[in-house]
Structure 1
Amino acid sequence: MTPEEIKRKRANSILRELIPEALSGLADEQLRGLTVTEVVCSKGRSDADVYLDPTGIDEDEQRVILKKLKKVTRGLEAYCLKAEGWYKSPKFHFKFDQELDRVKRMDELFAKIEKELNG
């Protein structure tokens, strides 16, 4: 693992802790309740994809939440910048993590196949 990869992984980890802290300080109840599942920084750490848990949130609500997040992104970036004393914060790009749904569906399919084989 190169030093650059180590720095990027460290930044991912730090942001995975700081972003929920920043969200919890917001006035909007909908944004305070969000769960960050993963943060992936780009190679130069200038951008970061922030993945959110979509459990219990329908597609219409997801669109509304993403619009709200777009409005407060600068404040969240400033919070992380100040908390870590960084010179520059990555630009956050919020997305709902669809991987969780995919894994759940795969588990259901495997359970169904197992039931058919055994039954």
Structure 2
Amino acid sequence: MDTLKVQLGPLDIDFRGTTVNVTPHMLDALDRIRAALITVAQLRATTSYKGLAAATGGAYSVRGFGKALDAITIDCRDRNEPSLASLVVHSGGDKEVGDGFRGNAKGERDLCYAQWAL
């Protein structure tokens, strides 16, 4: 597995104007989140927050992924990759990304599918 570009400590989320504190727990979870989302991209699919929670061994609760997905987005940006966070959608009827996602989710998904095509 490739090394995450994010490190422990404060991480500026410039697209939101906030900071996330990357803790040891989050850093460990980010490895699992990234691996799970790359698999989702390879399948040309999306996953729900509930599915991501299950795929990562309960790294975060269904409603607790926001800051971790922000960190994943920054990690992807630092790698010049599309945002893997675009693959995480509500499990309800709308199948849309959460309110915190910034950008064109469908466009990012298409780029993820191309980036990690099998």
Bigger radius of gyration: 1
Greater helix percent: which structure? 1
Calculate the TM-score normalised by the size of structure 2.
0.31
